[in-house]
């Protein structure tokens, strides 16, 4: 097994992070990959609440308006000047093309004007490294450890990765159809809830009986670390068809049962991995769905006696934010600086 780099060996850096992969416009200043000096997020999510989801062109237009004010506010809030910044890290993908271009074009111009190195960061790697972001007053004597198992779960991805360092990641399981976040959003839509669907469904599930309705257990007969959520969505659709006039409490019960089925599928796969890989020291839960309290509690019930479980220090680090991009940029520069700089030039040039 590769030896993980130790944090005390890393050189000090202050990085300006920029994140514009979807409907958020975010800028953050992070020192040494862990200390968040500020994290500013301007979201256009409310603009899309009655439209069933994000409209890419509208999101990009809003980001054009917000990007420079957000960066300016980030520097002011962090009480630093351009001279204090060692590098700029920006999301290079995946995401909405127009939104990514707003962030990458802005970052390239600023890097050129300010004479700063530019780091291209994969959005998913940002989520993986969000665990290292510290909240105010957190215990710095207990940093995350490698090797770890990370579940990255959101509307766009549901991945299990074995991590031996920040840049040594092995994908061992992924969804075969919908992501978990998609399952939440589509389920919320079937229940007549507004966008964003995940939080709305979890809110409805409060006070519901999660064992009132039975849902299938996906892939339970297969020896795999993969996920599958399309069958749960179909099962919900047929349940609503067969029960067209649900009372309010029954809707709560159905939402709770559906949420439980999604979360139980996720935790079952994690338990399976932990049983097979005895060298794992920690379990990390990241991405937008990591904010789900039922998922967190099920994880604690299932594996807390075996390994340490961590999730982002605050809810804002669960969703898309520039602090995680700055953190990932820092660790990329420390472990693989040539890859961090050269890959962005190639991929950004292809997009433009």
Segments making up each domain of the chain, as ranges? 7-138+316-351, 148-311
Contact (CB, 8 A) for 310 and 115: no
pTM of the model: 0.89
The mean predicted confidence, pLDDT, of the chain is 89
* Residue 331, both tokens: 């660790």
Between 133-137, 194-198, 317-321, the lowest mean confidence (pLDDT) is in: 133-137
- Let me know if the fold of 7-138+316-351 is the same as that of 148-311: yes
CATH H-level superfamily of 148-311: ATPase, nucleotide binding domain (3.30.420.40)
Between 45-49, 82-86, 140-144, 330-334, the lowest mean confidence (pLDDT) is in: 45-49
Distances, alpha carbon 5 to alpha carbons 27, 121, 141, 279, in Å:
27, 19, 16, 17
Place 11 in a pLDDT band, splitting at 50, 70 and 90: confident
What CATH architecture does domain 7-138+316-351 belong to? 2-Layer Sandwich (3.30)
* Residue 32, both tokens: 């040494």
Mean pLDDT of 65-90: 96
Place 2 in a pLDDT band, splitting at 50, 70 and 90: very low
Q: Is it the case that residue 304 has pLDDT exceeding 70?
A: yes
DSSP state of 288: G
Using the structure block, give the residue that is written with the tokens 């609503």.
240
Give the DSSP H/E element, type plus range, for residue 35: strand 35-43
Place 138 in a pLDDT band, splitting at 50, 70 and 90: low
Mean pLDDT of 112-117: 95
Place 338 in a pLDDT band, splitting at 50, 70 and 90: confident
Mean pLDDT of 163-171: 95
- Distance, in Å, from the CA atom of 306 to the CA atom of 309, rounded to the nearest integer, reads 9
DSSP H helices, the chain, are: 56-78, 97-114, 123-129, 180-190, 197-205, 230-242, 248-276, 293-303, 322-335, 337-351
Contact (CB, 8 A) for 81 and 122: no
* Residue % of the chain over a pLDDT of 70: 89
Place 166 in a pLDDT band, splitting at 50, 70 and 90: very high
Higher per-residue confidence, 89 vs 303: 89
Please name the residues in contact with 3: beta carbons below 8 A apart, sequence gap of 6 or more.
none
Place 45 in a pLDDT band, splitting at 50, 70 and 90: low
* Residue 6, both tokens: 């130790």
Place 55 in a pLDDT band, splitting at 50, 70 and 90: confident
Contact (CB, 8 A) for 334 and 10: yes
């Amino acid at each position: 097994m590769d030896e993980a780099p130790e944090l005390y060996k890393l050189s000090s850096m202050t990085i300006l992070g920029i994140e514009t992969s979807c409907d958020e416009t975010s800028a953050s200043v992070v020192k040494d990959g862990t200390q968040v000096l500020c994290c500013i997020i301007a979201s256009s999510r409310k603009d899309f609440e009655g439209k069933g989801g994000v409209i890419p062109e509208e999101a990009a237009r809003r980001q054009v308006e917000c990007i420079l004010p957000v960066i300016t506010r980030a520097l002011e809030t962090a009480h630093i000047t351009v001279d204090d910044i060692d590098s700029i890290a920006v999301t290079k993908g995946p995401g909405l093309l127009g939104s990514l271009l707003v962030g990458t074009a802005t970052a390239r111009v600023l890097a050129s004007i300010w004479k700063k190195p530019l780091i291209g960061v994969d959005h998913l790697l940002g989520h993986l490294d969000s665990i290292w972001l510290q909240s105010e007053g957190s215990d710095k004597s207990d940093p995350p450890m490698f090797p770890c198992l990370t579940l990255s779960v959101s509307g766009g991805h549901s991945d299990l990765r074995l991590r031996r360092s920040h840049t040594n990641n092995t994908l061992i399981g992924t969804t075969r159809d919908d992501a978990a976040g998609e399952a939440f959003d589509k389920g919320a839509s079937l229940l007549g809830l507004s966008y964003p669907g995940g939080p709305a469904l979890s809110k409805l599930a409060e006070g519901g009986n999660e064992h009132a309705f039975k849902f299938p257990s996906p892939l339970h007969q297969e020896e795999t670390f993969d996920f599958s959520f399309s069958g749960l969505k179909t099962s919900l659709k047929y349940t609503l068809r067969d029960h067209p006039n649900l009372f309010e409490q029954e809707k709560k019960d159905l939402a709770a049962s559906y949420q439980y089925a999604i979360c139980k599928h996720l935790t079952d796969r994690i338990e399976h991995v932990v049983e097979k890989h005895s060298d794992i020291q920690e379990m990390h839960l990241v991405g937008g769905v990591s904010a789900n309290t039922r998922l967190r509690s099920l994880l604690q019930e299932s594996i807390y006696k075996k390994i340490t479980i961590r999730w982002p220090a605050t809810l804002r680090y669960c969703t898309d934010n520039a602090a995680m991009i700055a953190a990932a940029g820092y660790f990329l520069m420390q472990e693989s600086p040539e890859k961090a700089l050269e890959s962005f030039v190639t991929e950004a040039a292809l997009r433009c």
